[in-house]
């Protein structure tokens, strides 16, 4: 079964299980939005692999007038996102592969959460280069995702610590989450920072990290104070 089918099957329960499976839920999503450096109140935003729209919901708390495009391959996940944002005419949805989809507009902010780690290293590099070109001057790219520690012993230890902190969740749901992890292809922090720099971003950094979860932030202009 493909990863898309797996997520389509879990669409209705996806949100309710996030806090249990991500012990750092509020900080993870919150910092991803807090670190965005955009001075206006009506940014044009693209959410890659948006799923049910959790990260876009956090973004709307900071930019309630944002125009957001959510793109995801999993149709059932997007249906849940449509319910979440029902009545907001500034939100639109695309069911397609964000690696191959062609956009005819640029964005001020491009965000993603827990999606890009399903790509190979080569695919991540291509994706970052593609979406760098789709950012307006001064645009922000933010990816809240899972990362891989190059040291297997450290990686296994971090995962064991996360298991200790998993919240209230049924044994069945936790088993299904572990099966979904077999589709993961996380890359190291260093590799992804290098991809961002090579794509052309002037500033890149990691504003947040918790075991296997990390937030990548990149901006493509010159800060006056740097």
> What pLDDT digit, counting tens, does each position of 44-66 carry?
999 999 999 999 999 999 999 99
What local confidence, expressed as pLDDT, does residue 224 receive?
A: 52
- Kindly tell me if the per-residue pLDDT of 222 is higher than 70: no
Which whole number is the average pLDDT over 196-205?
A: 96
> Please, which pLDDT band fits residue 226 given cuts at 50, 70 and 90?
very low
Q: How far apart are CA 192 and CA 189, in angstroms?
A: 5
Q: What is the mean pLDDT of the chain?
A: 92
Residue with tokens 């209230």: 168
Cα–Cα nearest to 54, from 78, 23, 38: 78
What local confidence, expressed as pLDDT, does residue 195 receive?
A: 98
Q: In this structure, how many other beta carbons lie within 10 angstroms of the beta carbon of residue 128?
A: 24
Q: What percent of the chain has pLDDT over 90?
A: 78
What local confidence, expressed as pLDDT, does residue 98 receive?
A: 98
- Kindly tell me if the per-residue pLDDT of 143 is higher than 90: yes
DSSP letter assigned to residue 103: P
- Kindly tell me if the per-residue pLDDT of 223 is higher than 60: no
What local confidence, expressed as pLDDT, does residue 46 receive?
A: 98
Q: What percent of the chain has pLDDT over 70?
A: 94
Cα–Cα distances in angstroms (integers) from residue 141 to residues 56, 102, 173, 176, in the given order = 14, 18, 32, 30
Token couple for 53: 């729209």
- Kindly tell me if the per-residue pLDDT of 174 is higher than 80: no
Which whole number is the average pLDDT over 190-209?
A: 97
- Kindly tell me if the per-residue pLDDT of 130 is higher than 80: yes
What local confidence, expressed as pLDDT, does residue 10 receive?
A: 58
> Please, which pLDDT band fits residue 89 given cuts at 50, 70 and 90?
very high
Q: Give the pairing type, strands 203-210 and 213-219.
A: antiparallel
Contact 70, 101 (CB under 8 A): no
- Kindly tell me if the per-residue pLDDT of 225 is higher than 80: no
User: Largest Cα–Cα distance of the chain, in whole Å?
Assistant: 52
């Amino acid at each position: 079964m493909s990863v898309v089918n797996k997520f389509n099957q879990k669409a209705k329960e996806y949100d309710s299980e996030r806090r249990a499976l991500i012990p750092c839920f509020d900080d993870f999503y919150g910092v991803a939005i807090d670190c965005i450096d955009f001075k206006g109140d009506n940014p044009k935003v693209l959410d890659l692999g948006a799923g049910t729209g959790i990260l876009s919901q956090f973004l709307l708390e900071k930019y309630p007038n944002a125009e957001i495009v959510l793109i995801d391959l999993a149709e059932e996940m997007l249906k849940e996102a449509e319910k979440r944002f029902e009545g907001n005419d500034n939100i639109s949805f695309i069911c397609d592969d964000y690696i191959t989809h062609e956009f005819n507009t640029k964005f001020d902010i491009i965000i993603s959460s827990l999606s890009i780690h399903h790509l190979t290293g080569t695919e991540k590099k291509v994706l970052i280069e593609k979406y760098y070109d789709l950012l307006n001057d001064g645009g922000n790219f933010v990816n809240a995702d899972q990362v891989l520690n190059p040291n297997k012993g450290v990686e296994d230890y971090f995962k064991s610590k996360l298991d200790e902190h998993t919240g209230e969740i049924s044994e069945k749901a936790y088993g299904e989450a572990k099966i979904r992890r077999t589709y993961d292809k996380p890359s190291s922090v260093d590799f992804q920072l290098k991809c961002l720099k090579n794509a052309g971003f002037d500033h890149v950094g990691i504003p947040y990290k918790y075991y296997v979860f990390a937030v990548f932030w990149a901006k493509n202009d010159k800060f006056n104070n740097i």
